[in-house]
Amino acid sequence: MVDPALGEGTDGAPRRISILGSTGSVGTNTIDLISRAPGRFKVTAIAGGANAALLAEQAKAVGADFVAIADEAAWPALRDALSGTGIEAAAGDEAVLEAGRRSADWTMSSIVGAAGLAPTLEAVRRGGIVALANKEALVCAGRLFTEEAVRAGCRILPVDSEHNAIFQVFDDARRDGIEKIILTASGGPFRTLSREKMARKTLAQAVAHPNWSMGVKISIDSATMMNKGLELIEAHHLFAMPEDRIDVLVHPQSVVHSMVSYVDGSVLAQLGSPDMRTPIAHCLAWPRRMDTPVERLDLAAIGQLSFFAPDTDRFPALRLAREALRAEGDAAPVLNAANETAVAAFVDGRIRFTDIAAVVEETLQRCPTEPIVDLEAVFAADAKGRRVAAQVIAGFDGVSIAHAGAAI
């Protein structure tokens, strides 16, 4: 007998799911897992940004009821590709919000960046389960996001491998036994480099993550370690842990995905191969488990695991995120907006790799922290962070970067 409170149908009815950001790295991994479990899931809605061809192909493959594409210019291509299939489709931001509202027991939130906040909130308000990959949504809206989930009776499941690991070993019923949580970080492709060497790195080098295959933005965030900074803020909100009880530990092999340390000296960790299909499957089947084709961990073959303290002089983004979390108010959404703006400028070849954190720092200095009273204030802080970061970037000397305009 299935517990209806978990958002699953009874008598083995398939779990009805929607995927916001289905064409991305997390989205395609989610569809891969669904396709391997016929009859277990029914896809009600999928949404993407601009890739009409892949979105239409996915919709046909999984039999989605509704498809939304954010980019209105991509509408003719989507409409033509779905013609005669009977699949309902629409374009524009409102269509993506509609995908979030569509009836489902379980939603994957995997749009990249703050653009995912509004559609994810629609899914949260619907109730059921939201599997959260889109960390920027939680970084921006923080407590307002978690309060919205409580109000709607929505269960948030963490997809980020670190937070999923913590979720698996975090004794929520006996929180008084928990001392701290320890987020592991691979350190990214530039883990051992000096700032001078990092400054000369190209886009192709920045996205070449040593362990994980991910989208462009998160790969760059991993290289600057802003990803770990965003995850620190995410962990604070997901697990209601104060900032000073969240540690970061560099672990280049990405085998130990994170840890929880208890008052008696016990440290519980979750381990696995670096493949996002494990945490995604954990959320898809939760509270059960499902098979995945993920390569099984062979610790004897790996031989050694290593751990280092992070270096916030070479990776200032981590320090900036910690400071933004401590500052409270709108510092976190401003930090996130500045980072998204700076990453886009780096991708376009307008700034150097090491300028990304410099843009974020300068933006935060130019934006005195203001209180966040409601979601409108979150969107206003996001707009302010983008505007000020763009001004900071415009003030930089023009740089000539070899990767400008190059395909990734």
Ligand X SMILES: NC(=O)c1ccc[n+]([C@@H]2O[C@H](COP(=O)([O-])OP(=O)(O)OC[C@H]3O[C@@H](n4cnc5c(N)ncnc54)[C@H](OP(=O)(O)O)[C@@H]3O)[C@@H](O)[C@H]2O)c1
Using CB under 6 A, which of the segments 142-150, 216-224, 241-249, 386-394 binds ligand X?
Answer: 216-224
Q: Which is nearer to ligand X, 22 or 184 (CB)?
A: 22
Q: How far is the CB of 317 from ligand X (least distance, A)?
A: 14
Using CB under 6 A, which of the segments 210-218, 285-293, 314-322, 379-387 binds ligand X?
Answer: 210-218
| Residue of the chain from 17, 43, 47, 260 that contacts ligand X (CB under 6 A) | 47
* Spatial distance between the Cα atoms of 109 and 19, rounded to a whole number of angstroms: 6
What does the buried/exposed string (b/e) look like for 137-167 if buried means 16 or more CB atoms within 10 Å of the residue's CB?
Answer: bbbbbbebbbebbeebebbbbbbbbbbbbbb
Using CB under 6 A, which of the segments 49-57, 199-207, 247-255, 359-367 binds ligand X?
Answer: 49-57
33 near ligand X, rule: CB under 6 A:
no
| Residue of the chain from 2, 6, 37, 50 that contacts ligand X (CB under 6 A) | 50
Bond prior to 242 in cis (omega within 30° of 0): no
24 near ligand X, rule: CB under 6 A:
yes
With beta carbons less than 8 A apart as the criterion, state whether 134 and 120 touch: yes
Using CB under 6 A, which of the segments 7-15, 45-53, 237-245, 299-307 binds ligand X?
Answer: 45-53
Query: Which residue is listed with tokens 């036994």?
Result: 177
* # binding residues, ligand X (CB under 6 A): 30
> CB under 8 Å, gap of 24 or more: what pairs does 90-95 form?
90/66, 93/118, 95/47, 95/68, 95/69, 95/70
With beta carbons less than 8 A apart as the criterion, state whether 183 and 242 touch: no
- Residue 206 makes CB contacts below 8 A (sequence gap 6+) with 189, 190, 219, 220, 223, 346, 353
* Spatial distance between the Cα atoms of 199 and 314, rounded to a whole number of angstroms: 11
Q: Which is nearer to ligand X, 178 or 334 (CB)?
A: 334
- The pattern of x and - marking residues 307 through 346 that bind ligand X according to CB under 6 A reads ----------------------------------------
| Residue of the chain from 129, 276, 364, 389 that contacts ligand X (CB under 6 A) | 276
Q: Which is nearer to ligand X, 7 or 49 (CB)?
A: 49
Q: Which residues between 84 and 113 bind ligand X (CB under 6 A)? A: 96, 110-112
Using CB under 6 A, which of the segments 6-14, 23-31, 34-42, 330-338 binds ligand X?
Answer: 23-31
Distances from the Cα of 251 to the Cαs of 71, 162, 211, 228, 304, in angstroms?
A: 39, 12, 11, 12, 11
Burial label, 349 (beta-carbon count in 10 A; 0-12, 13-18, 19+): middle
64 near ligand X, rule: CB under 6 A:
no
Strands 256-262, 178-185: pairing kind: antiparallel
Q: Which is nearer to ligand X, 78 or 178 (CB)?
A: 78
Q: What letter does residue 396 receive in the DSSP assignment?
A: S
Binding site for ligand X (CB under 6 A): 21-27, 47-51, 70, 96, 110-112, 115, 133-136, 160, 212, 214-218, 276
